[in-house]
């Protein structure tokens, strides 16, 4: 049977016996209203503000902060919607790159759409490593030394655009994460991300999450004496705007997290011995970002199972430090010993991957050289069909579970006794039409 796998903005076709196709997992389907209607409702009814119009009133310069191209945030569509309101204002845009590189020319066009050329001289890309660009404002209780971009420190009015999705160690993206790591200094990001090594730093958890609490504390220092207007979106599986909430950061973030959970926390029947983790565009930008797909998909994998990452990694490896750490270790256990001797930004990625490698096998179909992947304990393939065929040879006649948007989807096992619906026993394919049955169709009330 043929199956289409998202890859680099296109689709790959693979063939598998019907009996080997298990659950095919997407984010949950949610009802979508017209995008402009959702945005206008949110902008005109913000939390703790009268309206966006009231926020931008007057001649005070306004600094806009937007996510970079590693996030699916619909920056260009929102800027377009706001354009008539802001085009005559004294505005600047700061791209929250965190510790990432500056956007490429194509990415600038993607971020700003039709307004890029009008805004070009008003756009700045944050550089976390430029010490002259970042200003020290204090320390958090965890000891994180907080440096923020001087444009942010000097601004009185700030509006930021973000999207809220599950994040494998910060709980969720969005909210104050636009500030830390978004526009923070490298040292600040490094110290904050070291907290990701703690067991309580995980997806869908914000309360008691040391990374998220550190982010919140740093934000609460910068917000003093400023007006900060958040525009926080939740997207559906097709990157259309499902929900938007504006205004005060923390209240809006909490509401957005609830909606994001509705979309991205997905029930599965059971764990599988073979899981395919697809990192779709734009989260397939590099291996550093694609690791999120691996970390989410581990929740659907049995011990001693095989997890296959499918990601173009079109811009290469990404952060070099985690690759260097993994490649210099003789085995996954040695990774943790090296981290104990001194943490560097990116080591949390290596730790999360090594943790999985201790109980499962990682394979990958990417544009990266298999030799590079093999050095970091990942079996690299240049042919996805070959990888899938090999898993079945190794694991026997098992069903393969497909996580089609693994970068954002967090699987959870459906309760067996208390669940209100019963599973229909039988194949996941209609025998007459040979069509795949959607996961929702496998339940009866």
Give the rounded distance of the alpha carbon of 20 from its chain centre. 29
And the tokens for 129? 């490593």
Which H or E element spans position 273? strand 272-278
3-state helix, strand, coil in the chain (%, to 5): 35, 25, 35
Residue 43: Cβ-neighbour burial (10 angstroms; 0-12, 13-18, 19+): buried
DSSP for 178-242?
A: GTTTTTB-HHHHHHHHHGGGSTT--TT--TT-HHHHHHHHHHHHHTTT-EEEEEEEEE-TTS-EE
Show the CA angle centred on residue 52, arms to residues 50 and 58, nearest 5°: 95
| CA 304 – CA 359 distance, rounded (Å) | 6
pLDDT at 226 over 50: yes
Residues 196 and 222 in one domain: yes
Cα end-to-end distance, the chain, whole Å: 29
Residues 131 and 85 in one domain: yes
Among residues of the chain, what percentage have pLDDT more than 70?
93
Contact 273, 363 (CB under 8 A): no
pLDDT at 420 over 70: no
| CA 163 – CA 241 distance, rounded (Å) | 9
Residues 82 and 231 in one domain: yes
Residues 172 and 291 in one domain: no
Contact 266, 409 (CB under 8 A): yes
What does the pLDDT read at residue 138?
Answer: 95
What does the pLDDT read at residue 319?
Answer: 82
Minimal CA–CA distance to 85: which of 45, 120, 116, 53? 53
pLDDT confidence bin for 427, thresholds 50/70/90: very low
What does the pLDDT read at residue 416?
Answer: 66
Considering 263, 285, 315, which residue would you say is the last residue of a domain? Answer: 263
Residues 123 and 10 in one domain: no
Residues 249 and 335 in one domain: no
Contact 98, 289 (CB under 8 A): no
Provide the CATH number for the domain around residue 45: 3.40.50.11440
And the tokens for 86? 């802001």
Kindly give, in sequence order, each residue whose CB lies less than 8 Å from that of residue 415, ignoring residues fewer than 6 positions away.
none
User: Can you give the pTM of this predicted structure?
Assistant: 0.88
Using one digit for the tens of pLDDT, what is the confidence trace for 369-411?
999 999 999 999 999 999 999 999 999 989 999 999 999 999 9
Provide the CATH number for the domain around residue 8: 3.90.226.30
Residues 228 and 301 in one domain: no
Residues 237 and 338 in one domain: no
Residues 289 and 366 in one domain: yes
What does the pLDDT read at residue 147?
Answer: 98
Q: What is the mean pLDDT of residues 164-185?
A: 97
Minimal CA–CA distance to 277: which of 356, 183, 193? 356
Kindly give, in sequence order, each residue whose CB lies less than 8 Å from that of residue 266, ignoring residues fewer than 6 positions away.
25, 26, 27, 28, 409, 410, 411, 412, 439
Mean of per-residue pLDDT scores for the chain: 92
Domain count, the chain: 2
Considering 204, 229, 263, which residue would you say is the last residue of a domain? Answer: 263
Residues 128 and 252 in one domain: yes
| CA 384 – CA 403 distance, rounded (Å) | 15
What does the pLDDT read at residue 442?
Answer: 35
Residues 159 and 243 in one domain: yes
DSSP for 284-336?
A: TS-HHHHHHHHHHHGGGEEEEEEEEEE---TT----HHHHHHHHH-SSHHHHH
Residues 221 and 258 in one domain: yes
Using one digit for the tens of pLDDT, what is the confidence trace for 141-158?
999 999 999 999 999 999
pLDDT at 424 over 80: no
Mapping DSSP to helix (H, G, I), strand (E, B) and coil, where does residue 252 land? helix
Considering 234, 263, 292, which residue would you say is the last residue of a domain? Answer: 263
Minimal CA–CA distance to 260: which of 177, 317, 371, 345? 177
Note down the domain range covering 242.
35-263
pLDDT at 189 over 60: yes
């Amino acid at each position: 049977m043929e199956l289409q796998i998202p890859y680099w903005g296109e689709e790959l076709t693979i063939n598998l016996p019907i009996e080997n196709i298990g659950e095919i997992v997407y984010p949950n389907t949610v009802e979508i209203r017209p995008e402009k209607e959702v945005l206008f409702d949110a902008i005109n009814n913000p939390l703790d503000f009268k309206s966006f119009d009231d926020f931008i009133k007057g001649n005070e310069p306004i600094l806009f902060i937007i996510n970079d191209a590693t996030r699916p945030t619909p920056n260009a569509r929102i800027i377009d919607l706001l354009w008539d309101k802001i085009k005559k204002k004294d505005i600047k845009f700061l791209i929250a790159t965190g510790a990432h590189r500056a956007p490429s020319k194509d990415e600038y066009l993607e971020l700003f759409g039709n307004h890029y050329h009008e805004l070009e001289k008003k756009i700045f890309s944050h550089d976390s490593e430029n010490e002259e660009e970042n200003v020290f404002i204090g320390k958090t209780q965890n000891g994180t030394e907080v440096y923020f971009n001087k444009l942010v420190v000097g601004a009185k009015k700030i509006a930021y655009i973000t999207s809220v999705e599950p994040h494998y160690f910060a709980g969720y993206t969005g909210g104050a994460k636009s500030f830390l790591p978004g526009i923070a200094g490298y040292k600040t990001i490094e110290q904050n991300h070291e907290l990701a090594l703690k067991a309580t730093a995980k997806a869908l958890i914000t309360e008691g999450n040391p990374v998220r609490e550190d982010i919140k504390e740093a934000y609460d220092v910068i917000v003093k004496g400023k007006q900060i207007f958040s525009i926080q979106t939740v997207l559906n599986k097709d990157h259309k705007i499902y929900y938007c909430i504006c205004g005060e950061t923390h209240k809006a973030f909490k509401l957005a997290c609830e909606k994001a959970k509705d979309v991205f926390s997905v029930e599965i029947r059971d764990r599988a011995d073979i899981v395919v983790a697809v990192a779709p565009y734009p989260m397939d930008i590099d291996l550093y970002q694609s690791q999120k797909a691996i970390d989410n998909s581990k929740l659907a994998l049995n011990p001693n199972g095989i997890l296959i990452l499918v990601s173009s990694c079109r811009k290469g490896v990404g952060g070099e430090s985690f690759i260097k750490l993994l490649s210099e270790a003789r085995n996954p256990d040695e990774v943790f010993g090296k981290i104990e001797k001194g943490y560097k930004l990116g080591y949390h990625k290596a730790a999360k991957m090594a943790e999985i490698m201790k109980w499962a096998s990682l394979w990958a179909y990417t544009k990266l050289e298999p030799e590079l992947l093999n050095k970091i304990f990942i079996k690299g393939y240049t042919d996805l069909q070959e990888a899938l065929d090999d898993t079945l040879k190794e694991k026997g006649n098992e069903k393969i579970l497909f996580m089609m948007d693994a970068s954002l989807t967090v699987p959870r096992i459906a309760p067996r006794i208390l669940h209100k619906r019963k599973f229909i026993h039988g194949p996941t394919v209609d025998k007459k039409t040979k069509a795949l049955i959607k996961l929702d169709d496998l339940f009866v009330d």
